[in-house]
Amino acid sequence: MSTDSVILKPGKDKPIRHRHHWIFSGAVASFPEFEDGACLPVLSSQGEFLGSAYFNSKAKILGRMVCFTKTSPLEAIFQHLNRALVLRRRFFNGHQTNAYRLINAEGDLLPGLVVDCYHCTLVVQFTTLGMERFRQPIIDWLIQNMHPTCIYEKSLVPSRKEEGLKDQQGVLFGQVPSQAVEILEHGLRFHVSILHGQKTGFFLDHRQMRHKIQELSQGKNVLNCFSYTGGFSVYAAAGGANKVDSVDISQSAINMAKQNMALNGFSSSQHGYFAEDVFAFLREKPLDYGLVILDPPAFAKQKKDIVTACRGYKDINRLALQKMPSASLLLTSSCSYHVSEDLFQKVVFQAAVESGRTVKIIGRHQLAVDHPLNVCHPESDYLKSLLLFVD
């Protein structure tokens, strides 16, 4: 049996045979001396070759598979990049939407890598030491195949600390835009701040739900809570809403929301903007809205935060449900990975019971095609939405 390979314990090879990417330390019988971040062959307890993974002794997830064949790791990465590009080109031609996620980590068989495309600007995140080792070949591939004017790194995620990495932010290719990048989404225009925006600048994963809000907004007063830069607000206005109120604790986000509304020809005087705490707004203001959107940031950033997060989700949903008029609609979402879809629905159920309202689920989250989920790796599914009818 090879001495330069990671050997799994008996019975611990099943997830890898099923093409799950993660290897935990408890599954490993032995491994050679290695430098953290190195790619190593992975063998079953019987010596059968299962593929290659990169390993980091500092991380909770010891190894992550990059290929399940005898293809070299680098060649496998190029294959996954090419296939991801084929998928995006099938759905995005740039005429109506020119902002999308090009690489969605395990969803595109590339754990530790996220690449978002904002027209001619690419924003990359290397979240693991193992993928960091392939940085330059990946950047070269992006330049050759995407022809960007700028590649900007925004590797500012908590997982990097666990991997023994420092945060990284800066230009990798070209020149960073001096102003916000303008993008198109379903024909609507948005300014995205690459440098200062949350995550990579814009929440691309909610594209289809924004489109659903456009379909539902005709003739309604709409409240967009945790509005950030006004994505849902612009779609609601485009859908014919009478009035759209945007609420976010960040004044800079509210300012950008105003700009995005104006960019699409919607008058600021017709709509409301509130740089306020959403919890306070829901407690203190009347909610005479036919459609309310609750899309908060992740309340549970770690597993230990689940109880506190569920309390927060229950509170905002209860506050909204108590005051919303009869026959109104509520779109409520959670992007907390540690709060499962089933748990989130139970929390919303508790909120409905405490509010004394009859609530019906009439829709669920619609996955954006550029955020594919690997069926072999369900842990990638983090975003949940429920569309509710409030009697």
pLDDT digits (tens, 9 = 90+) for 74-113: 999 999 999 999 999 999 988 899 999 999 999 999 999 9
For residue 291, the domain's CATH number is 3.40.50.150
For the cut 90, the answer to whether the pLDDT of residue 298 exceeds it is no
- Quote the domain boundaries for residue 373: 203-390
Which bin fits 37, alpha (ψ -120 to 50), beta or left (φ > 0)?
A: left
Q: C-alpha angle 82/87/89, rounded to 5°?
A: 95
Pairing between β-strand 291-294 and β-strand 221-225 as defined by DSSP bridges:
parallel
Pair 77, 53 in one domain:
no
Cα 298 from Cα 203, distance rounded (Å): 13
Pair 79, 38 in one domain? no
pLDDT for the residue numbered 95:
87
Residue carrying structure tokens 């590797």: 155
Q: For residues 210 and 332, state if they share a domain.
A: yes
Does 178 score more than 80 pLDDT? no
Q: How far apart are the first and last CA of the chain?
A: 66
pLDDT of residue 301: 78
Q: Is 194 within a domain?
A: no
CA separation for the pair 225, 249 (Å, rounded): 10
Whether 144 and 81 share a structural domain: yes
207-216 and 231-238 are packed helices; what angle lies between their axes, rounded to 10 degrees? 40
Please, which contacts does 114-119 make with residues 24 or more away whose CB atoms are closer than 8 Å? 114/200, 115/142, 116/200, 116/201, 116/202, 116/204, 117/88, 117/146, 117/148, 118/181, 118/183, 118/192, 118/194, 118/200, 118/201, 118/202, 119/94, 119/181, 119/182, 119/183, 119/184
Q: Give the number of other CB atoms < 10 A from CB of residue 344.
A: 21
Q: Is the dihedral of CA 335, 341, 347, 348 positive or negative?
A: positive
Do both 249 and 338 map to the same domain? yes
Alpha helical stretches, state H, 217-332? 231-238, 251-263, 278-284, 306-323
Give the integer Cα–Cα distance in Å for 290 and 356: 18
* Catalytic residue selected from 117, 150, 225, 335: 335
Say whether both 16 and 144 belong to one domain. Answer: no
Beta carbons within 10 angstroms of residue 63's beta carbon: 28
Q: What is the pLDDT of residue 300?
A: 76
Residue 304 covered by a domain: yes
214/351 same-domain check? yes
Q: Answer yes or no: do 38 and 170 share one domain.
A: no
Calculate what percentage of the chain has a pLDDT beyond 70.
99
- Bridge partners of residue 173, in order along the sequence: 151
**Residue 44 covered by a domain:** yes
Do 27 and 78 lie in one domain? The reply is: no
**Residue 386: is its pLDDT beyond 80?**
yes
Q: Which residues contact 284 (CB under 8 A, 6 or more apart)?
A: none
Whether 335 is catalytic: yes
Give the model confidence (pLDDT) of 28-80 as tens digits.
999 999 999 999 999 999 999 999 999 999 999 999 999 999 999 999 999 99
The reply to whether 165 and 99 lie within a common domain is yes
Residues in a beta bridge with 183:
190
- pTM, entire model: 0.94
Residue 191: inside a domain, yes or no? no
When computed from its CA atoms, the radius of gyration of the chain, rounded to whole angstroms, is 22
pLDDT number for residue 2? 60
**CB within 8 A of 46, min separation 6: which ones?**
none
Indicate the number of domains in the chain: 3
Do both 208 and 334 map to the same domain? Answer: yes
Residue 384: closest CA among 262, 238, 211, 209: 209
Q: Which two tokens stand for residue 300?
A: 């549970």
CATH number at residue 79: 3.30.750.80
Angle between the N-to-C axes of helices 73-91 and 135-146, in degrees from 0 to 180, rounded to the nearest 10: 30
Q: What is the mean pLDDT of the chain?
A: 95
Neighbours of 372 (CB within 10 A): 18
* CA pair distance 268, 13, nearest whole angstrom: 58
Question: How confident is the model at residue 337, as a pLDDT?
Answer: 84
Apex 352 CA angle, 350 and 356, nearest 5: 120
State residue 87's pLDDT score.
97
Is pLDDT at 165 greater than 70 in this prediction?
A: yes
218 pLDDT exceeds 90? Answer: yes
CA-based nearest residue to 116, from 21, 22, 185: 185
Instruction: Return d(Cα 170, Cα 153) in angstroms, integer.
Output: 5
Digit-coded pLDDT (tens) for 305-344: 899 989 999 999 999 999 999 999 999 999 988 899 999 9
Mean pLDDT of 355-360: 97
Of the residues 32, 52, 67, the one at which a domain ends: 67
Report pLDDT for 268: 79
